[in-house]
Structure 1
Amino acid sequence: MPSKEGSTVPGQALSGLTRSKTLREQALVALRTAITTGQYGPGDHLGEVEIAEHLSVSRGTVREALRHLQQEGLVTAGARGMLRVSRLTPTEVRELFEVREALEGLAVAQIIASSRRQEAAEALRAALDRLRDAFTSGADLAATVEADLGFHQLLCELSGNSVLLRTWRQLEGPMRVVIMSAAGDRRDAAMSAPSHAPIADAIARGDAAAAQEILHTHMTSAVERLGIGDEDSREAD
């Protein structure tokens, strides 16, 4: 990983750009991918010059992309104005998961109240199968994280509430950074299919109270298992 004072450019996500999209869009996608897949870690410096040279674009293009990522919460301005990958404090991480719980809890309630509850439960079980496959097939970490968050995004989609889904998606970038930066064994436990299955089962039964309690336990356990509740962690300077 890059040093905290210098910077390097990961080569995988930030490979050459084509002209199929605007250069700004491509730079934005490449930088976002590098951050959310862990090529850049929390606190790593994002140097305009190095990134611009690697992508063969102007510093202005990179600056616009980084400004957008600041709005998404993936990038923050640290000491001396240097831009770094956001590092959430333990308090911010807990708050992130509390908001997720509130949103997904509302999604659960709306699914159970709908006439398509059973169809939703089956769709969620299919998403669980994809998550199991990601683990058993030895998929890379990015694919496993995608399958894990895919289950939760589907939960919000099935609610039929577009504002709820849009709000959840605004949290997705920081969630990916938190998950990718956690210790491997703890991360796997938090993302395992068995930890998600009771949510789909409770929806299938139409048991809203149980589904809410299971979701609360899942979110609380995720914070603990990801090893991000340690108050010794510090935010980026």
Structure 2
Amino acid sequence: MSGQALSSLTRSTTLREQALAALRTAITTGRYRPGDHLGEVEIAEHLSVSRGTVREALRHLQQEGLVTAGARGMLRVSQLTPTEVRELFQVREALEGLAVAQIIASPRRQEAAAALGEALEKLRDAFESGADLAAKVEADLGFHLLLCELSGNSILLKTWRQLEGPMRVVIMSAAGERRDLAMSATSHTPIADAIARGDAAAAQEILHAHMASAIEQLGIEREDPSET
């Protein structure tokens, strides 16, 4: 491959990565809302890239679960039904419950508990410093991501990260103080405390209650119209 061709390939790859990052951020921070149409032409003009570059980025976001093809192939930001959101939290609970069990069984449990304590401080700081919603969501999910990382289970971590995009959209699309309550450090502290004590049963119960409370606080216990 010639130097010119390689340079062209590098620029193309960089543009794809930049477009993908820009679109992912726009969706996960709420600039694009669930159900919003994602037009290739408008996005290409806004990002100053080709439609082909945008198309590739949108295809990747479909694989991440952030974008869905609707009627006539029209792409929109994914909009989960209440049933799908409950299922999402159920899968999260199963994964994080396994992570908790493996952390407690590990000889490095106390080190893990200390790391989770630091994550709690970051979460507390995000709220006390008046950070914006995106920063609060980052700190909230950062705690749960760390929980999975500390398990030492690479497949568990990889699976959890596949849920991260849709989870961000769900949280960002919720509204009001109830959402902040679900993400607060206070609601996460009992999980870290149970891990520090090595109480696996309590940790599982607390995690279950945390997920159930999050569903309630995010206001997604409404009946799915498709189920009536």
Is 1:130 matched with 2:125? no
Is 1:203 matched with 2:195? yes
Match of residue 65 from structure 1: 57
Listed one character per residue, the Cα deviations across residues 112-137 of structure 1 (whole Å, up to 9, x for unaligned) are 00001111111101100000000000
Match of residue 99 from structure 2: 107
Match of residue 184 from structure 1: 176
Measured in 1, the distance between the counterparts of 2:26 and 2:160 equals 21
Are 1:90 and 1:233, in contact at CA under 8 Å, matched by a contact in 2?
no
- 1:232 is displaced (CA, Å) by 5.4
Match of residue 22 from structure 1: 14
Measured in 2, the distance between the counterparts of 1:78 and 1:103 equals 30
Are 2:89 and 2:215, in contact at CA under 8 Å, matched by a contact in 1?
yes
Are 1:76 and 1:83, in contact at CA under 8 Å, matched by a contact in 2?
yes
SS at match of 1:222: helix
- 1:184 is displaced (CA, Å) by 2.1
- 1:20 is displaced (CA, Å) by 10
Q: What TM-score does the superposition give when structure 2 sets the normalisation length? A: 0.92
Match of residue 220 from structure 2: 228
- 1:21 is displaced (CA, Å) by 5.9
Are 2:27 and 2:77, in contact at CA under 8 Å, matched by a contact in 1?
yes
Are 1:74 and 1:173, in contact at CA under 8 Å, matched by a contact in 2?
yes
Q: 2:25 aligns with which of 33, 36, 57?
A: 33
Of all paired residues, the percent bearing the same amino acid is: 87
Measured in 2, the distance between the counterparts of 1:233 and 1:51 equals 32
Match of residue 4 from structure 2: none
Are 1:72 and 1:173, in contact at CA under 8 Å, matched by a contact in 2?
yes
Measured in 2, the distance between the counterparts of 1:129 and 1:112 equals 21
Match of residue 140 from structure 2: 148
Tell me: CA distance 1:232–1:106, structure 2 relative to 1, closer, same or farther (3 Å).
Answer: closer
Match of residue 139 from structure 1: 131
- Normalized per residue, the structure richer in helix is 2
SS at match of 1:76: strand
Match of residue 84 from structure 2: 92
CA RMSD of aligned residues (A): 1.3
The number of residue pairs the alignment matches comes to 216
Q: What TM-score does the superposition give when structure 1 sets the normalisation length? A: 0.89
Measured in 2, the distance between the counterparts of 1:29 and 1:233 equals 34
Measured in 2, the distance between the counterparts of 1:134 and 1:184 equals 17
Tell me: CA distance 1:185–1:20, structure 2 relative to 1, closer, same or farther (3 Å).
Answer: farther
Listed one character per residue, the Cα deviations across residues 139-163 of structure 1 (whole Å, up to 9, x for unaligned) are 0110110000000000000000111
Match of residue 215 from structure 1: 207
Q: 2:73 aligns with which of 59, 73, 81?
A: 81
Match of residue 51 from structure 1: 43
- Aligned amino acid, residue 165 of structure 1: L
Gaps of 5+ in 2: 1-10
Measured in 2, the distance between the counterparts of 1:20 and 1:232 equals 43
- 1:80 is displaced (CA, Å) by 2.4
SS at match of 2:119: helix
